[in-house]
């Protein structure tokens, strides 16, 4: 059985067949056991089944940050915790940052906690995720993170930033031009993509260059996050756009 513990809730995979959930809850010290079948739509909403207990709201601690969320309403990606801290530590003093797919604050909260960013604009289209984003800003006592409810394709062009986080992997390349156009000269984007392993060092960079127009693209790093599917990697390209 594969499982992950998020706060005091246990998420088990589809292979779990034992129905002794009370014993399992005691073993892992959780109040609820759930199965997440899949995440659907642009709002990244979970399709789930509660196997034990009833409460789906919890507080998860990661990298010194607190994240309140309801696992029946919003997703939690546990595999990206190192990447979230990596980005936070790259943010330089006084930077303005746009988080285009903020969710409940996966990147925005660590940036607010671990950096001296001047301002972080956290854009999220899902009202449920936006609600918990606002809760997490308060929970972590941050005054430099501004939550924005809306479509990042519409909201991003209203802003300018020194760094833009594009922490979404499906069709993210459709948002590249909007991101680059909102990036100050010499600014950095962190562009996420799922890509066939053999194209990992070429396709994401080519997509960035295609949308940069006559601006120079300097690739700083291609960071492999995790295997997304057989032969497919989730990667992040750090690129400076001059």
Q: What is the CATH number of the domain that holds 47?
A: 3.30.300.110
Q: 171: buried, middle or exposed (CB in 10 Å: 19+, 13-18, 0-12)?
A: exposed
Of the listed ranges 10-24, 110-124, 161-175, the least confidently predicted one is: 10-24
Q: What is the pLDDT of residue 219?
A: 97
Asked, for residue 63, whether it belongs to a domain, the answer is no
To which residue do tokens 């309403």 refer? 73
Determine the Cα angle at 107 with ends 105 and 108, to 5°.
60
Give yes or no for a contact between 234 and 169, defined as CB atoms under 8 angstroms apart.
Answer: yes
Residues 118 and 14 in one domain: no
17: pLDDT strictly greater than 70: no
pLDDT tier at 24, thresholds 50, 70, 90: confident
The pLDDT tens digits for 106-125 are: 999 999 999 999 999 999 99
18: pLDDT strictly greater than 70: no
Q: What residues form DSSP beta bridges with 194?
A: 234
Q: What is the pLDDT of residue 168?
A: 86
Asked, for residue 69, whether it belongs to a domain, the answer is no
State the average pLDDT for the chain: 92
Residues 50 and 98 in one domain: no
Q: How far apart are CA 213 and CA 92, in angstroms?
A: 26
Range of the domain at 216: 79-241
Closest CA relative to residue 166, chosen from 158, 156, 217: 156
Q: What is the pLDDT of residue 232?
A: 93
40: pLDDT strictly greater than 80: no
The pLDDT tens digits for 130-164 are: 999 999 999 999 999 999 999 999 999 999 999 99
Asked, for residue 64, whether it belongs to a domain, the answer is no
Asked, for residue 61, whether it belongs to a domain, the answer is no
Residue range 217-241: mean pLDDT, rounded: 93
Q: What is the pLDDT of residue 169?
A: 81
Q: What is the pLDDT of residue 45?
A: 79
Give yes or no for a contact between 239 and 218, defined as CB atoms under 8 angstroms apart.
Answer: yes
Tokens of 134: 């606002």
79: pLDDT strictly greater than 70: no
pLDDT tier at 77, thresholds 50, 70, 90: confident
Residue range 40-56: mean pLDDT, rounded: 83
Determine the Cα angle at 173 with ends 200 and 108, to 5°.
95
Q: How far apart are CA 100 and CA 154, in angstroms?
A: 10
Contacts (Cβ under 8 Å, ≥6 apart) of 193:
169, 172, 173, 203, 204, 207, 234, 235, 236, 237
Residues 34 and 127 in one domain: no
Residues 112 and 224 in one domain: yes
More confident residue, 12 or 169: 12
User: Which strand ranges, in their side-by-side order, compose the sheet holding 3-6?
Assistant: 3-6, 9-12, 32-40, 45-52
Q: How far apart are CA 120 and CA 123, in angstroms?
A: 10
pTM: 0.90
Q: What is the pLDDT of residue 43?
A: 65
DSSP letter string, 197-209: GGGTTTHHHHHHH
Closest CA relative to residue 118, chosen from 159, 64, 162, 76: 162
165: pLDDT strictly greater than 80: yes
Three-class secondary structure of residue 220 per DSSP: strand
Tokens of 148: 């924005």
Residues 150 and 182 in one domain: yes
């Amino acid at each position: 059985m594969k499982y992950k513990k998020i706060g005091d809730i246990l998420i088990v995979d589809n292979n779990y067949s034992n129905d002794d959930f009370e014993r399992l809850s005691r073993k892992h010290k959780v109040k609820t056991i759930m199965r997440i079948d899949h995440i659907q739509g642009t709002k990244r909403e979970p399709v789930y089944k509660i196997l034990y207990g009833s409460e789906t709201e919890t507080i998860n601690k990661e990298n010194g940050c607190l994240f309140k969320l309801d696992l029946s309403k919003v997703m939690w990606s546990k595999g990206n915790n190192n990447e979230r801290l990596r980005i936070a530590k790259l943010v330089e003093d006084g930077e303005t940052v746009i988080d285009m797919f903020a969710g409940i604050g996966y990147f925005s909260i660590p940036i607010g906690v671990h950096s001296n960013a001047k301002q972080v604009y956290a854009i999220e289209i899902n009202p449920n995720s936006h609600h918990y984003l606002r809760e997490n800003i308060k929970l972590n006592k941050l005054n430099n993170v501004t939550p924005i409810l809306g479509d990042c394709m519409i909201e991003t062009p209203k802003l300018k930033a020194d760094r833009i986080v594009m922490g979404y992997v499906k069709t993210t390349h459709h948002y590249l031009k909007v991101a680059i156009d909102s990036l100050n000269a010499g600014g950095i984007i962190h562009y996420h993509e799922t890509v066939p392993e053999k194209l990992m060092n070429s396709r994401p960079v080519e997509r960035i260059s295609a949308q940069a127009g006559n601006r120079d693209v300097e690739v700083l790093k291609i960071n492999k996050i995790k295997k997304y599917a057989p032969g497919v990697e989730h990667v992040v390209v750090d690129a400076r756009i001059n």
